Structure 1
Amino acid sequence: MKDSQLIYGIRAVMEAINADQPINKVFIQKGLKGELMKELESTVRKNGISASYVPIEKLNRLTRNNHQGAIAQISPVQFQDFEKMVEQIMETEKMPLFLLLDQVSDVRNFGAIIRTAECSGVHGIIVPKNGGAPITDDTVKTSAGAAFNVPIAKVDHLKDAIFYLQASGVSITAATEKTDNEIYDVDFKKPSAIIMGSEEKGINPSTLSVVDNQAKLPLMGNIGSLNVSVACGIFLYEVVRQRR
């Protein structure tokens, strides 16, 4: 991790959070006490930022500078405000297409998905603040720079984002093997959003319960699933096929 991607020092990290810097994660030294540390922890929680408590050796490996027990990792991409992003897209696009990622955790999968999303005309990507892959240099590299071209918004809860999109007239389709419906049976010739699940667990069952459609890809071989970035590409290009 490059030093240019890091902010170190308790006050500096708090100032970055309060200035709405695009922070992926805060690393906090285990066992560190004090009023200033309590204030940092409160600021992190209040802003819904992911935090990890790590030994001092981890912080020392991240930077040789005086970190005071706190380091923030900065995203190379500026995130959008979710509601403003949706509102703008709904106003300017005749056939909006959104992509929601339910805790996709591998940064390279994330980058590959962003690249395919950009190529297939996705207007906005929505990810949860916690649990998903951060946008790192590896993500940007794998996306071939597409991470700078597609608006990406972080939300506290993916279900709330789904409800907001549905209220805006967007039909939500979940990519899941837990259905008999195939992707080719879904009508994408209307404002649509596709949800892709995590590499290990797929889409959260509570999220599946609120979508408009569930769809799967037909698998003809012996392997039971596809890589999430590959599956995402197939789903997105079915949307392209239908809309052409």
Structure 2
Amino acid sequence: MADRYCVFGNPIKHSKSSLIHGEFGRQTQQDMTYTSELAPIDGFAAAWQAFVAEGGRGANVTVPFKGDAFALCDTLSHRAERAQAVNTLIVGGNGRTYGDTTDGVGLVRDLAYHGVPVQDKRVLVIGAGGAVRSVLEPLLAEKPDELVVVNRTAEKAIQLAKDFSDLGDVKGGGLDAIEGQFDVVINGTSASLSGDLPPLPDQLFTPHAWAYDMMYGAEPTVFLQWAGPRGAKLLDGLGMLVEQAAESFFLWRNVRPDTAPVRSQLRQSLNFSD
């Protein structure tokens, strides 16, 4: 009987995880199934327990359940403890639940895939929610010269900077605290989904800078539409999605899939979807 995996979310219809992991499974000839599961907003833990009782071996977790997943784990990876969020659940041999987060690894691997330099560079991260918290440790491990976190609510960004200050030069503040130019600017807010753009200075980018949006779509996000005419090279979060999925897949199956063909297939599916 094939090993069962899934992704939990609410909503979940939009998720590309089944497509991605289906391709990974075929590529690596794994005997597994992967489905999308809609969990009730107030019933995530029960949904996970029911899935395990039916033979589930592991799951991905997306919005809004990464905090719930963190809370139910028996053991956590170091990076999940740092992020205070879990996007990958694994059922251990003893039936206990192990939690990890692969979002930050996904971002860093996508930056490397596209040849975006982070070491010794000035990096700006916009936002202070769970998505940003999940990527700060892996970003700081790349040894940027300085990492600045900004947010509409300055206090959140300041607190994040304090939480990660032991890992490098991290500063936090409000959007009005942005000073100078940056080599890499990462939008970690969900503003692009609502067509909203945080107020940012026009002279934000150094020559040859990169603008990265963790969101993605068939069309460039509002943030990327703004950044392009100001001289930045543009990347969206599609590759991050594929790379974080590949890391989850490795944790479950101990085999690392080739992400390049899945990136191409996913991009094509976006371009030809309604």
Answer 1 or 2: higher relative contact order, Cα 8 Å, separation at least 6: 1
- TM-score normalised by the chain length of structure 1: 0.31
- TM-score normalised by the chain length of structure 2: 0.28
